[in-house]
Structure formats: C-alpha cells, structure tokens
C-alpha cells in the first residue's frame, strides 16, 4: 500500500493529475467559502450588536466576536467537510485519474469504456449522503471517545472511503458484482488503505491533494490485488 501511494505521489506532476487537482481544489475551496458565507449571513441576521450584562451594562462587538469565532469553527469543520468532498470527488474525476495511472504503469491493459456519467453521479451522491449521515450519528461516539476521537474518525471513515474508492475503481474492469467479490476477499487491506487516506484528510491544506492521490493509490491497489 505504501508502494502504491509513493507511485501515485511520483505521478503528481502528470498534466492530467494537475488538471484534476487544480479543478478539485477550486471546487473544494468554493464549497468551503460558500458554507462560511452562509455562517456569516446567519450571524448578521441573528447576532445582536450589543448585549446587556447585569451590573456591567451594554457590551458591544458581539457580532464581530462571533464572526472571528466562526472562522475558527470553519477551520475545524473543514476536517469533517473534506471527507464527503472526497467522496463526491471520486464520482466526478475518478475516470481521468485512473486512466492516467493505467496509461503510465499498466500500458498493456486494454482500454475500458467510460462509466456512464449519470450512474457515476448517482453512486457518488448515494455515498455522499451515507458519509454525512454516518458522521452525524457518529458525532456522539467522537465526543465520548475523548482523546481517541481522531482514531475513531479515521477508522470509521477509512472503512467507508476504502470501500467506496476501491469499488468504483474495480467496477471499471470487473463490473459491480466482480468489484464486490474482490473487495470482500481483501476487506482488511482495503480498510487499512482507507485509513491511510482518511488520516491526511484531517490535515488542512494537505487534505486538498488527497482525493487525487487516493484515486491513484486505489487504482494501483486494485491491480495488485486483482493479480494476486
């Protein structure tokens, strides 16, 4: 798995990787800015400019303080937002990244037809909804886990991301049922690979390049396991 990741990292300068990377970063930043703008709008609507504190009197600047607090909140939320963003990314750009990997490292393979866009988007949306729902429910577990919360976060999302990315990559050559069968035989290794992807998604800025490297890494992993 480390070898697959290093191969993917070594191809980051590939023009197709860079094109997808820049487009993905732009979409991700646009999403984060949009969510943050929504937070600021809500603060402007509902936060009072001053509050009355007993024995102290009116205190101003509350809306400004909340605005600065919301910036810190968005930095924290970006960790959680990047996981569903990565899942949506897989449906939009998987084919381009996987094909670039195969052209360089597996040129002997015959070309495969591109998955129908509608089918890819439906799969990506369904998984996006699943990730959001599972993480909302799991917030209680994250809170109860205390210092171990990052480990719980990585384990849960590593399982889900590994399952999704491997399935989508494998479906290109094996079909849906073949991908499920191969995934079932190697679920442990796929889970570990998913954790290796989920962990850096928790690091701001670093997480912007992980979706591209994740698709490439799972493409290498699929070909290795399919030949085993």
Instruction: Give domain limits for the chain.
Output: 2-13+78-107+114-227
What mean pLDDT comes out for the span 144-167?
A: 86
**pLDDT tens digit string along 124-151?**
777 777 777 777 777 777 778 788 888 8
Residue 160: pLDDT over 70: yes
pLDDT at 40: 66
| pTM above threshold 0.85 | no
pLDDT at 65: 45
Residue 59: pLDDT over 50: no
CB burial of 44-76 (b: ≥16 within 10 Å; e: otherwise) equals: eeebeeeeeeeeeeeeeeeeeebeeebeeebee
Residue 35: pLDDT over 80: no
Residue 223: pLDDT over 90: yes
């Amino acid at each position: 798995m480390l070898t697959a990741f290093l191969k993917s990292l070594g191809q980051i300068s590939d023009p197709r990787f860079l094109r997808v990377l820049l487009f993905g970063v732009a979409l991700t930043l646009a999403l984060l800015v949009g969510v943050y703008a929504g937070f600021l709008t809500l603060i402007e609507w509902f936060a009072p400019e001053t509050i009355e504190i007993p024995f102290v009197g009116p205190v101003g600047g509350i809306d400004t303080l909340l605005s600065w607090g919301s910036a810190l909140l968005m930095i924290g939320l970006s960790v959680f937002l990047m996981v569903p963003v990565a899942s949506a990314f897989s449906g939009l750009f998987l084919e381009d990244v996987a094909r670039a990997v195969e052209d360089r490292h597996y040129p002997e393979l015959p070309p495969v037809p591109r998955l129908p866009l509608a089918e890819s988007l439906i799969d990506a949306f369904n998984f996006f909804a699943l990730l959001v729902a599972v993480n909302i429910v799991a917030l209680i577990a994250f809170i109860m886990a205390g210092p171990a919360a990052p480990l719980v976060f990585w384990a849960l999302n590593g399982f889900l991301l590994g399952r999704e990315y491997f399935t989508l990559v494998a479906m290109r050559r094996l079909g849906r049922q073949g991908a499920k069968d191969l995934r079932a035989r190697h679920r442990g290794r796929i889970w570990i690979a998913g954790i290796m992807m989920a962990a850096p998604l928790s690091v701001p800025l670093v997480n912007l390049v992980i979706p591209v490297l994740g698709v490439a890494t799972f493409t290498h992993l699929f070909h290795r396991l399919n030949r085993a």
